[in-house]
Structure 1
């Protein structure tokens, strides 16, 4: 079955709804409830791990050699490191992001007594007081503080608010959806990937699309701190495709249009055959794409492999400008990703041997090589 027509209105409306739900790593219950509810509304059977990672099964013609699509619902954020004598909060980041992008951010503090609003400010925030020092002070998490929008002029008043060390802080996304298709917001990594998955599922349910094998739609809750898909895969899953952001920046080949197929990240190359299949689908279905290699980047795929899962993995991305900052994407990339996902999950299984956890050489895959090496290879059937 070729790629299906994706409802971009549904996709962007889901992205808006997801961005409106704070979900820094460690504080994801609300967004998990939302995504699980939408999956059930679409007709999928949903299961949660103890901590809240989501697995939604869409049955195919068989269970063996099942496929998985994964993205993460958690985002960057912060925690209270210390209650300061001036009534403000010292912070530590949740996930890897620069304090440069934290300066000026509006935020929510989740305390025992309720939710407070606040602003992350540099220690020297007033030009009227510090003159040129506001531009020469260092950048770093030890050089910012959170001003709470409540009576907190000193440590005693701050303690009365019920704020404690370790309280979670969510950063406002401040999204803008422009008429020309650009979307600017924090936390597009990876709320946009979640929206892509929901749009692909909605399309398949609307079209009544059949798949040759079971499809596991996975949503993880701690990718930003490296945990990702480490414990959500089942043995019947033979291949897994992660959807995340690509870095459209100088020195990179990612783009804000079409699909960016990751060939490798900092953990090494992605599976040769699965990645090649995705590229072939882009070409046959006339989906715009480009390839890229990411040097300072890892995804749900890395955590699954490092946890010991013997599964083929690949990564497809939407190009993001200023990743982990004020991010920008284009709806063209999101639609292209959802189209590729529908084409992939409905495509025939090509490596039948993958239905087995262990098997002999017969049916094992081949990669292009020189003739001398080919002659030395055992006489076995090529992968279908």
Structure 2
């Protein structure tokens, strides 16, 4: 089978996603952007009440089917209270370190009026004033404040601007795509994953190769707060593959220029048979890959299983250095994820017995390490 990945499409789609703010709870604009891409590809889709997307690539078998999930929501912040000095206390939306937020340029959205610009700063921001105390203060969200680019020096000034607790902030991503393939930006998690899913879908549509089974592309909107794919599946889904970031750090085995197959995260091990299939696909098609275990990490797959879905769940990752901060990946890694996704869509079901929710003992499969061909055996 011949598949052609459009790497220009991958790059430009990711850039458009990054430049569309989408902190959890404020995702409508990026949902509309992804729906436009799906329409251009001729892929049908539907939305949940809150705006999560389920797109449908029909296959030769309609039940059971499989799903691939990536999340559209990113980290963000929210006004906690108005301060007497004319600045704003903020809290994070999603889990990210305050140290990574220091110096971020942000946009504040009010109930009425144009958005306002500002900067997140530590309480002691000037060495000329505080000397060494600047480096000694703890990095924490209570030690951050938002300095608005307005004539705002008192509580009354903030009130006159129409600012309230709960007003939302979006953080500038500051993307920079280098000619050597390194892509640097906030919120590559998980917009690089979304771009990879769309690029894989484009390759499938253009190849005109039939899928063995229906495949749903799920774009969730609340993964960063732990909900994710818990509310978008239906009972026919037997396999769920999440796409998210793999951490580049000492003690990790993430592939910086390939795809990483997660064997376990903080929610427990991923499905043995599904991970063996993914490894087999990489081996067969020459996709650079590694395996890794993540201790402080969960994904859309965990949310789906915890919601009570009886599914085979897996996770594949693009490389990410400095996750939930000033992030960096490489074009080759994101392209490797897209390639594996496309080949996974074209592969048959993991196990024929998955067509039934319940079955006898005799249906239990054999040890997948004994499979002669992990791609084809089912």
Could you say which TM-score interval applies, normalised by the shorter chain? over 0.9
Aligned to 1:367: 367
Aligned partners of 1:25, 1:63: CA distance in 2, in Å? 32
Does residue 317 (structure 1) correspond to residue 308 (structure 2)? The answer is: no
1:213 corresponding residue in structure 2: 213
User: 1:22 is matched with which residue?
Assistant: 21
**Distance apart, 1:42 and its partner CA:** 0.9
Residue 263 (structure 1) aligned with residue 263 (structure 2): yes
> Are positions 1:339 and 2:339 aligned together?
yes
| C-alpha distance in structure 1 between counterparts of 2:349 and 2:303, whole Å | 25
Which ranges in structure 1 are unaligned for 5 or more consecutive residues? 371-382
Aligned to 2:236: 236
Give 1:369 deviation, angstroms. Answer: 9.3
Question: Where does residue 102 of structure 1 map in the other structure?
Answer: 101
Shift of 1:255: 2.4
1:328 alignment partner in structure 2? 328
- Higher alpha-carbon deviation: 360-369 or 322-331: 360-369
> How far apart are the structure 1 equivalents of 2:31 and 2:369?
46
For the 8 Å contact 2:273–2:368, the answer to whether it is kept is no
* Counterpart for residue 79 of structure 1: 78
Residue 296 of structure 2: aligned partner: 296
CA contact (8 A) 1:352 1:363 kept: no
Residue aligning to 2:36 = 37
**Cα distance in 1, alignment partners of residues 326 and 368 from structure 2:** 42
Is residue 74–residue 222 contact of structure 1 (8 Å, CA) maintained in 2? yes
Measured on the aligned residues, the alpha-carbon RMSD in Å equals 1.3
| Aligned-pair CA distance for 1:28 | 0.5
Partner in structure 1 of residue 254 of structure 2:
254
Give the match for residue 280 of structure 1.
280
Local SS of the residue matching 1:5:
coil
Deviations 1:321-364 (A, max 9, x none): 11001000000011111111111111122411101111223332
Instruction: Give matches, 1:60-209, under 5 Å.
Output: 60-113=59-112, 114-209=114-209
> Per the alignment, in what secondary structure is the counterpart of residue 358 of structure 1?
coil
Preserved CA contact (<8 Å) 1:151 1:158? no
1:98-155 deviation line (CA, Å, top 9, x unaligned): 1101110000111112311110001111122112211111210011100111221111
**SS of alignment partner, residue 315 of structure 2:** strand
CA distance in 1, matches of 2:368, 2:149: 62
Alignment-derived partner of residue 356 in structure 2: 356
Residues 272 and 368 in structure 2, CA contact (< 8 A), matched pair in contact too: no
TM-score, L = length of structure 2: 0.96
Count of matched residue pairs: 371
Q: Which residue of 2 aligns with 1:379?
A: none
| Residue-by-residue CA offset, 1:151-207 (whole Å, 9 max, x unaligned) | 211111111111110111111111100000000110000010000011111111111
Can you give the 5+ residue segments of structure 2 that lack an aligned partner in the other structure? 371-376
Quick check: 1:351–1:363 contact (8 Å CA) kept in 2?
no
Instruction: Render the CA deviation track for 1:200-244: whole Å, top value 9, x for unaligned.
Output: 111111111210111100000000000010010011111010000
Take 2:13 and 2:356, find their aligned partners in 1: how far apart are those partners?
37
Q: Does 1:9 align with 2:21?
A: no
Q: 1:369 to 1:135 in 2, by over 3 A?
A: closer
Q: Deviations over 1:225-281 (max 9, x none)?
A: 000100100111110100000011011001221110000000100000001000000
